[in-house]
Chains A and B, each alone.
Chain A
Amino acid sequence: MLTETMSTAATIETKPQPPPAEKIKVKVDGKEVAVPKTTPDPVTGKPLPTSMIQACAAANVIVPHYCYHPKLPVAGSCRMCLVEFGTPAIGPDRKPIVNPDGTTKISRALRPVIACATPVSPGMEIYTNTPAVRLMREGVLEFLLINHPLDCPICDQAGECKLQEYSVDYGNSESRFVEAKVHKPKRVELGPRIVLDDERCILCSRCIRFTRDVAGDDALGFVNRGSHSTLTAYPGRAFDNNYTLNTVDICPVGALTSKDFRFRMRVWFLKETRSLCTSCATGCNIVIGSREDAIYRYEPRENDAVNSCWMCDHGRLNYKWIGREDRLVEVRKREAEGRGQASGSRSAAPTWSAVLGEISQKLKAAEPGSIAIVASARQTNEELHLLAKLAKRLGALTDSVPRIAAGDKLLLNADRNPNSTGARLTGIAADPMGSNLPAIAGGIRSGRIKTLIVFGEDATKCGIDADLLDKLELLIASDILPNATTRRAHYLLPGCAHAEKRGTFTNTKGRVQKFLKAVEPRGDARPEWEYLHELLVNVTSRDGIASIEGVFNEMAKEVPAFSGLTWATLGDTGISAKI
C-alpha cells in the first residue's frame, strides 16, 4: 500500500491532494464566499489560518497592498491592506444574535485590521471599500509618497509600479508636504546584477524576506531607524546569489532594478509572450518581454507546479545568444568534393525546398544501418518525436547529448537540458543519455555509418571528432549558432531559438509545458519541427498536418507517456505526464 502511494506520488508532479479542508463562510463586501479554514504557508507548507486577504482574493476582491506577497511570509508593515470587519454578535446565551429580518447580527470591530495577517472566522464580514478604509489607504499612500523622489520619468519601474497604480486610485493630485524630503543613498550596487535606489524604497521588506526565506541567503536588511531606515546588503558582502533578480520582480516600486534591463526599454513598449526558460530541466515558466523582434528580458511566470513565482539569475540572463550577430540565417550546401577544404565550393543560394528535396532523396537512398542521428535535448517534444519517427523509418542509430553542471536546491537543475525527459520519452535518447554516442563514433570510424544528422549540438564536443566528421559521406546539421559541426556540414539548416517558435518541453518531473512565439526567426531560419515534418513526409510519402497543434496531437497519440494530452488542454501551465 505504502509503495503504491509512493509510486503514485513519484509519477505525478503535484503532491497528493490533502483531504478536503474544512471551509469557512465569510462575506467580502456583501458577497458570500467559502474559504478553507487553513492555507499552506508559502515557504514551509505548514497549514496557517486563512487570512482575510486570501478570502478577499477568493471573492475576486483585490485589497491594495505593498508588503504582502502570496509567496512570502507575512510582514504586515505597509498598512495598505487595512480593512474594516465585523463578526457575528454573540448574545448572553453565547449564541449569535439574530436580527428581526432573520439575518445574523454583526458587530462591527472598532479598529481596522490588516487583511494580510488577520485570520478569517465563521460568519465574518470584511469591508474593503468603506469611506473609512479609503481614507486609511489615502493616508498610507500619502505617507509613502512624501519622501519618495517622484522621479517616474526616469524610473525603470514606471508603468509597472504599485505606487503609481495606487496613486491613481487613492492619491491626491497635489502634495501638501512642504518639508524637505529625507535623502538616502542612490545608485547603490547591491550586487553584480542589482542596483538599489534607497530613496525610492518603501521599506516593504519583500526583498529581505525573499532572499532570507526563499533563496536561503540572509543577505539583505534594514539599517538606521524611522524614516531614515535604509535597505542594504550585509556590510562588505555583495548581494550575489543565483536568485537576486527575483527581488527586482517583487519590488513594488523602482528601488531595486536589474543592471541588465535598466534604461534599456520602457516597459509599456514590451510585448509579453508566455514561454519557458531553456537553461535547465526545471522548465521555469517565463514571460518574454520583447519589442520589434528584440528580446529585452525574461521574467518568471507563476506556476505552482514548477517554479512558484521565481526563476534563477542564470536562466533569466541567458537570452542574449538569441540576438547574436553570428546567428545561422541561411540554408547552406557544400559539395562533397569540397569537404575538408576551407574554401569548399558552395552552390549559390540554395533554397529550403531544393535542399530538403535533395536530403530526402539521399536519405531514402541510404542503406539501412548507415545513418546515425545526434539529437539535442534542447529540442522540443514535437521535434524529437519527428526525429524519432524519421530514425525509425531509416533504421538509424540515435542519441542525444547530456549536459550536466552543478544544480542547487531551489530551481537550478543539474541537468542543463530543458527537455531530457522529452528526449527519453520520444525514444530518441539512449538510456542512459549519451551512451550511444561512442557507438556512433565507432560506426563512423569503421565506415559503417556514412550519414550523420546532427541537431542543435556540436558533434565534435561529444566524442565525434572533426576527422570522423570529415569521413562522412553526408553530414546534415541543423543549428542556431555556428560551431565546428555546422562548419563541416554538407547541408546546413538554420533553426529557431525557442523564442522564435512554438512547441513543448517535458521538464525533469514530467510536466509537459508549451511555449509561444515571441519574435520572428532571423533570416531564413525556420522552426525545426516544420522542416522535420516536411522531411518525414518526403521520406515516408505520407501526408500529415503541418501545424504545431497537429504535430503535438499526433505525438500524444503515439507516445504512451503523452497519451490523452492535446495542445489545447495544456493551457498556460502545462500538464504532468505519466513518466
Chain B
Amino acid sequence: MPQEHRQILKYVDQPGYTPDIECYLRHSGYEALKKAITLPPKTQADGKTTTGPEQIRQEVMISGLRGRGGAGFPCGLKWSFVDRKSGKPIHLICNADESEPGTFKDKQIIYKDPHQMLEGMIIACYANDAHLAYIYIRGEFVEGAKILARALREARAKNFLGRNILGSGYDLEIHIHRGAGAYICGEETGLIESLEGRRAYPRIKPPYFPAVLGLYLCPTIVNNVETLCAVKHITAMGGAEYAKLGTPNNTGTRIVSISGHVKRPGYYEIEVGKVTIGELIHDPCFGGGLRDGRKLKAIIPGGSSAKIFKAGEKFKLKGNSLLGREAEKEVELLDLPYDFDSIIEAGSMSGSGALIVMDDSTDMVEALSNIAEFYAHESCGQCTPCREGSLWMAKALHRLTHGGGRSTDADYLLRIADNIPGGRTICAFGEACAWPVQSFVGKFKDEFIAKGAADEERRMKPAASPQC
C-alpha cells in the first residue's frame, strides 16, 4: 500500500503544533543545528582533515538530495560549484517565492513550521561559510512574512542566529525580503536582481552563474524552502541514511501538491519514486480518485509549465540502471513512478511537485488559454522570443476561446511556440511558456482544430436576416 512518508511535514497539521519556537524545541527542534555546529574536524582515510562544514557538504552530496524548486539539480553539486577562493563573502538565499501555478508546498512549511526551514537554512549557511543570508518570500505571503519575521526574532533570542551562534564563534544574519508579485522573481538570477533592487530581469549565464557572480556579484547559493528543510534532516540522520529514502538518484521525500479534479486535493509528502502517478490520483491516502462519473483526461505532473500527459499515454522507460542495462519497459501513465528521472524520461518534468489533474469535463483549449494568459502576464519582457511569443500565443488562444478561431490555429500556435524554447531565451521562462502550448496542442490537436473549425463554420453561415 502506498503511503505518505511525512518527514518534513511530520508535525505539521498535528493538533497543538504551533509555529512558535517553544513548540519547535519541544519537538527536538534545532537539535540538528546543535549537531552540525559542534561537528569536530575529522581525519579521513587519506590523512586529510575535513572541517565540520565540509563534512555537512559531504553528507548532502552523499544524500543525493535534488533541488525541490523545479529543476531538480543535485544540491550537493550546486554547493560544490561555489567559488570559495574569490575572497568575496558567500551569500545564501532561501527561495520562498513559490509561484508556479499548482504549487502550495512551501507555504505549508513557512506558515506552519517556519523554524524547520530556518534550522535547515542556518545549517546550510554554516556548511557554506555564509554569514549573510536572505529569505526572498513572495509578496502574496503577507502572513508568511510576518510568521518568518517572528521566527527570526525567536531564533535570535535563543542565539540560534546572530553573533557567536551557540558559542561556536559562527555569526549569521538572515533578512527577509518580500517580493512584489512577479513570477519571474522565482528564477534565481531574477530573484538576485530583484533583491539588489532592480527589475527582476534574469541574468545571462555566462557570465553570471550565481555560484560565482551572484548577489552583489559575490558567490551565492539559492535553495528552495523544501530543499533547505531536507538539509536539516540530512544533517540529523546522515546522508547515507537519507539516501535510503526514495529510489536511487531520486532520494528522500518530497511534498506533492495535488490539485484539480480529485476528491482530496492537497499536499502529500512521499518518498520520491515510491508512489506512482496513478496512486497519487486514485489512492484514498492521496487524491482519492476523480469525482464520481468522471474519467481522467490529462495531468500536468510538475506545475503549469510542465508538459502535459494525456490519459492512457504509454512511455518507454529504460528502467533502473543499477543492475546494468535493463530492457526498455513500457509504462502506462498511471504506473509512472512520481520521481525526477522517470517523468523526464517520459517527456515532462516533476518540476515543483505540483500534480494538476484534469478530468473529461475539461476543455483543453480553455485550460491552455488560462495557462498562456498567466505566462504572457508574467513574462519579464527582457528577451525577445519569450516577451513577444508569450503574448502572441495568449492572444491567439483568447481568440480561439472567444469565437474567433481558425482551423489552422493549432499549427499557428505550434509554430509560434517552437520559436521560443531550447536556449533561445535567457532563462527557463521560455520553456515554461512554450512547453504547455507545444504539449497541449501536440497531444490534443483534434480539439484545437475542431474548435477553430466550428468558429469558421459559424462565421460562414449567412447572418440571420434582419427583422422588419
Tally of B interface residues using CB under 8 Å: 33
Contact across chains for A226 and B377 when beta carbons are under 8 A apart: yes
Q: Which residues of B contact A136 (CB under 8 A)?
A: 419, 424
Task: For A202, give the chain B residue with the smallest CB separation.
Answer: B384
Contact across chains for B206 and A226 when beta carbons are under 8 A apart: no
A141 to chain B, nearest CB (A): 9
Complex Cα gap A73–B419 (Å): 26
Known: A112-B423, A117-B204. A179 touches B378 (CB 8 A): no
Contact across chains for B388 and A227 when beta carbons are under 8 A apart: yes
Contact across chains for B378 and A225 when beta carbons are under 8 A apart: yes
User: Among the listed stretches B93-101, B143-151, B390-398, which one makes contact with chain A, having 4 or more residues with CB under 8 Å of it?
Assistant: B390-398
Contact across chains for B381 and A228 when beta carbons are under 8 A apart: yes
Complex Cα gap A203–B207 (Å): 22
Contact across chains for B380 and A225 when beta carbons are under 8 A apart: yes
Task: For B184, give the chain A residue with the smallest CB separation.
Answer: A225
| B377, B399, B423, B426: residue with the most chain A Cβ atoms closer than 10 Å | B423
B179 to chain A, nearest CB (A): 14
Task: For A143, give the chain B residue with the smallest CB separation.
Answer: B388
Q: What mask results when residues 193 to 210 of chain B are scored 1 for a CB within 8 Å of chain A, else 0?
A: 000000101001011000
Q: Which residues of A contact B199 (CB under 8 A)?
A: 221-222
Contact across chains for A229 and B387 when beta carbons are under 8 A apart: yes
Complex Cα gap A224–B207 (Å): 26
Contact across chains for A226 and B391 when beta carbons are under 8 A apart: yes
Q: Which residues of A contact B384 (CB under 8 A)?
A: 77-80, 140, 143-144, 202-203
Contact across chains for A226 and B395 when beta carbons are under 8 A apart: no
Q: Which of B364-385 contact A (CB under 8 A)?
A: 376-385
Q: Which residues of A contact B206 (CB under 8 A)?
A: 117-119
Q: Which residues of B contact A114 (CB under 8 A)?
A: 204
Q: Which residues of A contact B216 (CB under 8 A)?
A: none
A513: CB under 8 A from chain B?
no
Query: Of B182, B376, B399, B424, which one neighbours A112 at CB under 8 angstroms?
Result: B424
B247: CB under 8 A from chain A?
no
Task: For B204, give the chain A residue with the smallest CB separation.
Answer: A76
| B382, B388, B391, B399: residue with the most chain A Cβ atoms closer than 10 Å | B388
Complex Cα gap A245–B234 (Å): 59
Contact across chains for B395 and A224 when beta carbons are under 8 A apart: no
Task: For A119, give the chain B residue with the smallest CB separation.
Answer: B206
B226 to chain A, nearest CB (A): 28
Query: Of A49, A76, A80, A226, which one neighbours B387 at CB under 8 angstroms?
Result: A226
A139: CB under 8 A from chain B?
yes
Known: A77-B384, A226-B379. A143 touches B389 (CB 8 A): yes
Contact across chains for A117 and B379 when beta carbons are under 8 A apart: no
Complex Cα gap A434–B381 (Å): 57
A111: CB under 8 A from chain B?
yes
Task: For A182, give the chain B residue with the smallest CB separation.
Answer: B391
Tally of A interface residues using CB under 8 Å: 41
Q: Which residues of A contact B419 (CB under 8 A)?
A: 136, 139-140, 142-143
Contact across chains for B378 and A226 when beta carbons are under 8 A apart: yes
A269: CB under 8 A from chain B?
no
Query: Of B182, B395, B396, B424, which one neighbours A82 at CB under 8 angstroms?
Result: B424
Q: What mask results when residues 407 to 448 of chain A are scored 1 for a CB within 8 Å of chain B, else 0?
A: 000000000000000000000000000000000000000000
A172 to chain B, nearest CB (A): 12
B10 to chain A, nearest CB (A): 40
Complex Cα gap A78–B387 (Å): 10
Q: Which residues of B contact A228 (CB under 8 A)?
A: 381
Complex Cα gap A366–B99 (Å): 92
Contact across chains for B381 and A229 when beta carbons are under 8 A apart: yes
Q: Which of A76-116 contact B (CB under 8 A)?
A: 76-80, 82, 110-114
B15: CB under 8 A from chain A?
no
Query: Of B207, B380, B392, B424, which one neighbours A146 at CB under 8 angstroms?
Result: B392
Contact across chains for B377 and A225 when beta carbons are under 8 A apart: yes
Q: Which of A224-257 contact B (CB under 8 A)?
A: 224-229
Q: Which residues of B contact A229 (CB under 8 A)?
A: 381, 387
A126 to chain B, nearest CB (A): 15
Q: Which of B166-207 contact A (CB under 8 A)?
A: 182, 199, 201, 204, 206-207
Complex Cα gap A467–B426 (Å): 73
Q: Which residues of A contact B201 (CB under 8 A)?
A: 77
Contact across chains for B381 and A112 when beta carbons are under 8 A apart: no
Query: Of A75, A77, A179, which one neighbours B392 at CB under 8 angstroms?
Result: A179
Complex Cα gap A437–B378 (Å): 69
A177: CB under 8 A from chain B?
yes
The 3 closest A-B CB pairs, nearest first, are A111-B423, A139-B419, A229-B381
The contact sample of 8 A-B pairs, CB cut-off 8 A, is A75-B204, A76-B204, A76-B426, A78-B383, A78-B384, A117-B207, A118-B206, A143-B388
Taking A74-B204, A79-B424, A222-B199 as given, write out 17 further A-B residue pairs in contact, using a Cβ cutoff of 8 Å, ordered by the A residue number. A49-B207, A77-B201, A77-B384, A114-B204, A117-B207, A118-B206, A140-B384, A143-B384, A143-B392, A177-B392, A178-B399, A203-B382, A203-B387, A225-B379, A226-B381, A227-B376, A229-B387
